[in-house]
Amino acid sequence: MAKTLLTRLAAFLASLLVASIIVFTLLNLLPGDVAGVILGSSATPEAVAQLRAHMGLDQPFLLRYLSWLGGLLHGDLGRSAFSGLPIGPMVGAKLGVTFSLVILGMLLAVVIALPLGAYAAIQRRHTSGVVVSVLSQIGMAVPAFLAGIALVTLFAVKLHWLPANGYTPLLQNPLDWLRRLILPCIALAIVQSAVLMRYVRGAFIEVLQQDYFRTARAIGWGKYRAVIRHGVRNAALQVVTVIGLQLTTLFVGAVVIENVFVLPGLGWLLLSAVRSRDLPVVQSVVMVLVALILAINTLVDMTYAAIDPRLRADKPVVDDEVVA
């Protein structure tokens, strides 16, 4: 198991290094001059050159990358090109909002998808199972931002049941924190639960066709008891795979949802920085999002090994042939 963990960790660090090179290169290839944008069109060339030197933009590309990478390794994300404030505290203040949205959205999607997906598999030859499958197909076709707008129109504007926007910290008022996240989480969970439901259904259908499930049914176990006893663990590997992939898409979807519901998270910070061409903030936020996605993928790989011991790198391989 230790060898597996070290292998996954080495792959994560290597992926993180490659991602940092790609992010820094692509963002620095964008047209335009940050210094010129900050000073405005009326700035003199001398003033622009002076600001470029102050921001280190006149240095060679490799030196700028190594300086940025060194800062990342020491937990320093740099400073905003416009406000001059440290980017680290800015990102840290927004992480809680994004994490709250993503985690609650994923939990809601799992709570919806697991029972409905299993039910659709068990009742796949009945009308009710077909209806659940059709609803999941419809849910996959609904964009998250469109679902968010519809939820705001119905529950906030017309019914006045829930707030349409804004955010309250958890420790300040837990009840209001939850009320303001209900609609954004539902908007995120609609698509994610529909996708997850399809995979859960497929995984459980495969389990229903296995010999151990037929044996459990033959000795008198009920269909649902056999599914719970044997199906959940054997379908878990596929389900964990999809949950890990969906978590990464949730972070991307949160960028849009945070702006629909005016939530001050990483997505809101990223789009604000893009609009103002605050390149240091953009590349730092993008790098944080990439690191989170890579970390999730690494955790999913480690979960594989925990669920299925055959996937562990340090597990000895037993040959099928016994040499006399």
Count H helices and E strands in the chain, helices first: 13, 0
pLDDT of residue 245: 76
Following DSSP, what letter does each residue of 236-284 receive, concatenated?
HHHHHHHHHHHHHHHHHHHHHHHHHTT--SHHHHHHHHHHTT-HHHHHH
Q: Give the three-class secondary structure for 109.
A: helix
Q: In angstroms, rounded to a whole number, what is the distance separating the alpha carbons of residues 76 and 70?
A: 8
Q: Quote the domain boundaries for residue 166.
A: 88-275
Does the pLDDT value for residue 318 go beyond 50?
no
Q: Give the three-class secondary structure for 40.
A: coil
42: tokens are 């009326």
In a domain, 11, yes or no: no
Average confidence score pLDDT of the chain:
82
Please name which of 99, 94, 49, 104 lies closest in space to residue 284, comparing C-alpha atoms: 94
Give the whole-number percent of the chain exceeding pLDDT 70: 89
In a domain, 317, yes or no: no
In a domain, 45, yes or no: no
Does the pLDDT value for residue 51 go beyond 70?
yes
Q: What is the CATH number of the domain that holds 253?
A: 1.10.3720.10
pLDDT in tens, 275-294: 888 888 998 999 998 898 88
In a domain, 206, yes or no: yes
pLDDT in tens, 187-196: 988 888 888 8
C-alpha pair distances (Å), 182 with each of 87, 177, 185, 195, 201: 29, 9, 5, 20, 26
In a domain, 20, yes or no: no
Residue 213: other Cβ atoms inside 10 A: 21
In a domain, 46, yes or no: no
In a domain, 226, yes or no: yes
90: tokens are 């800015």
Does the pLDDT value for residue 233 go beyond 60?
yes
pLDDT of residue 315: 53
The number of distinct structural domains making up the chain is 1
In a domain, 284, yes or no: no
pLDDT in tens, 60-85: 889 889 988 998 888 888 888 878 88
pLDDT in tens, 159-211: 889 988 888 888 899 999 999 999 999 998 888 888 888 888 888 888 777 77
Does the pLDDT value for residue 213 go beyond 90?
no
